[in-house]
Structure 1
């Protein structure tokens, strides 16, 4: 059970009649000369604190499936995406495209999502024809003198009933890390000093597209797409100074760790509004993510000496989701709204791990010239098929009080194949009550009671590597 009180500074924003929504018109932000929606949100007092609290309360995109909650709406609607969700669009929408921003603290069946705290609704300007082109170009200078470029290009607009947002960006993930590790004995005598330099030469490329079409006054179709790619190769140099001999000795260790990663996502949603204002919604998401990395470690005595391999770790991991969610929402009585729906999701993780060590045995070039070491559960596929039925009831008790009740029935099966074969079935009933009292436009009292069931981590089903510990190869 949680008791939450939130406060908001009311400068120029206006509150609606029931004190549950604060509205910030675009004119409020003009004095700050914002470039993007993110710049506008930075000027709303306490909003980042609220969004961070919401994220810790309702989970994040690491959760499998979609669920009923979201923090950011655009034109009152949720984007059909996880990696390509609305919060990731805030830097891509130009501030000149915004009509006003709503901070919604109440719960209602008219919302496109279940409000589990406070949500932000970005309302864009309406026009028969409009477009806005936004560009950002910059350079980043790092402590080692390296300079990396970055750029972002986004195009937003509307033509009749068709609106769109297309963007692409390139940003550096370059990182250099220098550390010194000192090891001493209980009598305070020196054991070893390790100087480390780790360099990651990474560049991230992203492309996003969001399109919506109101092909009738009661029908809307939206499609979203995302593609991202990065190749984060890493080099490591360690210098060991050993004080256990008659005089200190120095040796070196290096790593060359090539890596590649990419992900894509396609999502869409369709909504039909009936004559009685009831709504039918259908949403789908398909995504895939691939990460591949190889860790190769070498010993050598002095710079320029031949390098002797002593570790080979190759990791491949793929993660994909297929999600379908549909629901029907209507007013069952005055001040009472009900949403009924189902969600189906299939999540698959493929992983493979290869280890080579300088031990007796037949050496293989596929293992960096080292001896292959058999590992338990090194190659595995984990698949979850989950079905979820839900009902959400909203009761507007009076202009200042609301009560939202919901129940979710979740049925899932997790199957593991490969080096290990196993299957488990799960069934959970998750009820929730959420009471809100708007004391005034600045303060709200919220009381919630729910049963929360954490999802199992797929990472626990397969062997993993720890690239930050040179003494521990696998977990």
Structure 2
């Protein structure tokens, strides 16, 4: 009860201040448009580029998602992992309105039939009166066509794995009176695995053991969604979203180990890791016009709740001469929840000037009960793992003031100033309670240098999102690593600057380049604790990152190659931080080094056939822990090809064959005798695992 009262208090001040003026709320005449927002956030002249359904006809899209991913130079950005609901959110609007809560933007667009899309406008976020949105934003205007639905089935086949027949989704949309609804069912099932040889060499480079290993990961993720939109009168809109999911996971790895020297050992080991999770979320908002004194604005209240229950079991056992010689089991029950209330009041004193006040309160918790046991005389006996059972809570409140202004026909500016208060408590560490006050905000601008040229810039102060699991002790049975608890963990803080250039060369031809840099305080990483412990904590010295990204889309019509489209892009990343164990300057742990991709698609004119090829490659930096370092390498490049027919009994069929070059998952781990600063290299594990080619079929359509 006290937690819900605390949350409500963060929003009560704003709502009560509006109460005496609610009777002054103005209503406009009913719109004749069906299922289109009466007051859109975007006007036609603001749109950088507009795409009608005719543009997408050659791709035969079934859903709005199929259309959005074909827009040149545009990349979907979701809001699932942000800190609270915050500002902005996903870079997609539906009829000028933001998506509710922490909705998966891709899945929501997949539930909108392509025939219901009227137009998609790509605009710059700084030109909108929506705080926090920057960069390219897609506003999708929809209409109602009665009851409609979409479906998709994606079976997959890989060597040494069971076929995946159960991946797919179906949705049904319609309206009755002022209520619009969408119902969805899905299963994001997956089948993954690899196999290969691992070698162990000592610090002198002498091979002492080989391991023939097979790993596989199976998962089922069925779920159901309900999305409701209610428009009781003009300029009043309410949304309600409900989602429930089940996630079952079964991961297994077998290893046949052969000793090469006396240091090695002849063993057969089995590692199992399973989870039987269920989760649900419900989110809603209500927006209506409201006058406060001379300000004619609108008030939006938003609520969100999510709960997840995740029982997991991991077990490692070793056999020698068919006799079980040792084993470990780690069981954990994790319950976590997030509750958020937010209120936003927006008004525009004159054309081209918009203001918004935002208040948000949140209460999050993670409650874990864990048990470690060890095989002894054929029976698992409980062992102590200090700090593995615990509860972490966070109460958080923030307030922001945002102003957007059109300085000229070519220059838009948006600025926000705010602060966040956070109280973090951990019950298992003598009731430790800590409080933080963090400033946050941004200033962004966009400049239209010409009809087809746009410059964007943004400077932002961010507060990082903590993973509550990082506070609590845990163990990795497969790699024999234990992590201590750390009640001193705190959110990172980041200064981020970005400048971007966008150039359009006629419809369908686009070039985007972005340069950004960050300064991170209290970077979250693996750090030493005490004389011999290790945990996830904060690095005292600042960290720096820089990156350059560029992508281009070209249409073949300019070179007499009708139906051909080329997409290509690359990214370069640089970073450095002082290693918390040895003190040397290094990359951020696991940071991206570089990546590139290129794909070409040919829709054969006057036919329903299309084909294409995609090539991509990436490299990541080494990951550093207190007593180990490791590096994952996917050598690549990863090559896939597809063939597509757009009218198989009214459906679209896409057949894709991936990993044509038979690339492998490579991994190297260095294990030290103690912490890296006081120990020496003990041995190195190196493995190369193949996973074969993947055949995926995708059958989609509407009804």
Does the pair score TM above 0.5?
Answer: yes
- The secondary structure found in structure 2 opposite 1:406 is strand
- The secondary structure found in structure 2 opposite 1:428 is strand
Out of 42, 47, 50, which is 1:23 matched to?
A: 50
1:142 partnered with 2:158? yes
1:283 partnered with 2:302? yes
1:99 partnered with 2:115? no
Indicate the structure whose relative CO is greater, using CA pairs within 8 Å and at least 6 residues apart: 1
Q: Residue by residue, what CA displacement relative to the aligned partner does 1:240-297 show, whole Å, maximum 9, x if unpaired? A: 1111149x86320113333211211000000102488621100000001222211112
**2:193 and 2:443 mapped to 1: Cα distance?**
48
- The secondary structure found in structure 1 opposite 2:221 is strand
Tell me the equivalent position of 1:35: 62
Shift in Å, 1:187: 5.6
Contact preservation (8 Å) 1:72, 1:87: no
Contact preservation (8 Å) 2:306, 2:337: yes
**1:18 and 1:170 mapped to 2: Cα distance?**
41
Out of 471, 476, 479, which is 1:470 matched to?
A: 479
**2:154 and 2:465 mapped to 1: Cα distance?**
41
**1:115 and 1:264 mapped to 2: Cα distance?**
27
Contact preservation (8 Å) 2:101, 2:302: no
Shift in Å, 1:442: 3.0
Tell me the equivalent position of 1:406: 416
Structure 2 CA distance for partners of 1:354 and 1:216, relative to 1, 3 Å: same
Shift in Å, 1:390: 1.0
- The secondary structure found in structure 1 opposite 2:106 is helix
Structure 1 gaps, min length 5: 1-14
1:251 partnered with 2:267? yes
Out of 88, 108, 111, which is 1:69 matched to?
A: 88
Structure 2 gaps, min length 5: 1-41, 485-703
Q: What is the TM-score with the length of structure 2 in the denominator?
A: 0.59
Q: Residue by residue, what CA displacement relative to the aligned partner does 1:112-158 show, whole Å, maximum 9, x if unpaired? A: x531222222221146xx12122223422121152121231111223
Out of 168, 189, 193, which is 1:172 matched to?
A: 189
Contact preservation (8 Å) 2:215, 2:254: yes
**1:189 and 1:415 mapped to 2: Cα distance?**
49
Tell me the equivalent position of 1:428: 438
**1:46 and 1:242 mapped to 2: Cα distance?**
54
**1:136 and 1:431 mapped to 2: Cα distance?**
41
Q: Residue by residue, what CA displacement relative to the aligned partner does 1:91-116 show, whole Å, maximum 9, x if unpaired? A: 222211211112121435644x5312
Tell me the equivalent position of 1:44: 71
Out of 453, 465, 468, which is 1:443 matched to?
A: 453
Contact preservation (8 Å) 2:358, 2:399: yes
Contact preservation (8 Å) 1:74, 1:86: no
Q: Residue by residue, what CA displacement relative to the aligned partner does 1:281-339 show, whole Å, maximum 9, x if unpaired? A: 0000000122221111211124xx34345111112222211001111111123421111
- The secondary structure found in structure 1 opposite 2:126 is coil
Tell me the equivalent position of 2:220: 203
Say which is worse superposed, 155-164 or 386-395, in terms of deviation. 155-164
Tell me the equivalent position of 1:122: 140
Tell me the equivalent position of 2:655: none
Out of 354, 376, 400, which is 2:371 matched to?
A: 354
Shift in Å, 1:64: 3.1
**2:445 and 2:351 mapped to 1: Cα distance?**
18
Contact preservation (8 Å) 1:224, 1:268: yes
Contact preservation (8 Å) 1:152, 1:167: yes
Tell me the equivalent position of 1:292: 311
Contact preservation (8 Å) 1:191, 1:243: yes
**2:234 and 2:224 mapped to 1: Cα distance?**
30
Out of 109, 115, 121, which is 1:90 matched to?
A: 109
Contact preservation (8 Å) 1:377, 1:420: no
Structure 2 CA distance for partners of 1:369 and 1:123, relative to 1, 3 Å: farther
Contact preservation (8 Å) 1:414, 1:423: yes
Shift in Å, 1:16: 7.1
- The secondary structure found in structure 2 opposite 1:201 is strand
Tell me the equivalent position of 1:7: none
CA RMSD, aligned part only? 2.5
Shift in Å, 1:68: 0.7
**1:424 and 1:234 mapped to 2: Cα distance?**
38
1:235 partnered with 2:257? no
Say which is worse superposed, 380-389 or 436-445, in terms of deviation. 436-445
- The secondary structure found in structure 1 opposite 2:57 is helix
**1:261 and 1:180 mapped to 2: Cα distance?**
32
Q: What is the TM-score with the length of structure 1 in the denominator?
A: 0.85
Contact preservation (8 Å) 1:257, 1:295: yes
Structure 2 CA distance for partners of 1:238 and 1:444, relative to 1, 3 Å: same
Contact preservation (8 Å) 1:19, 1:440: no
**2:415 and 2:449 mapped to 1: Cα distance?**
21
Q: Residue by residue, what CA displacement relative to the aligned partner does 1:396-449 show, whole Å, maximum 9, x if unpaired? A: 111211111111121111111135421110112223211211123432112222
Q: How does 1:199-348 map to 2 (within 5 A)?
A: 199-245=216-262, 250-274=266-290, 278-302=297-321, 305-348=322-365
**1:205 and 1:313 mapped to 2: Cα distance?**
26
Structure 2 CA distance for partners of 1:286 and 1:207, relative to 1, 3 Å: same
Structure 2 CA distance for partners of 1:442 and 1:352, relative to 1, 3 Å: farther
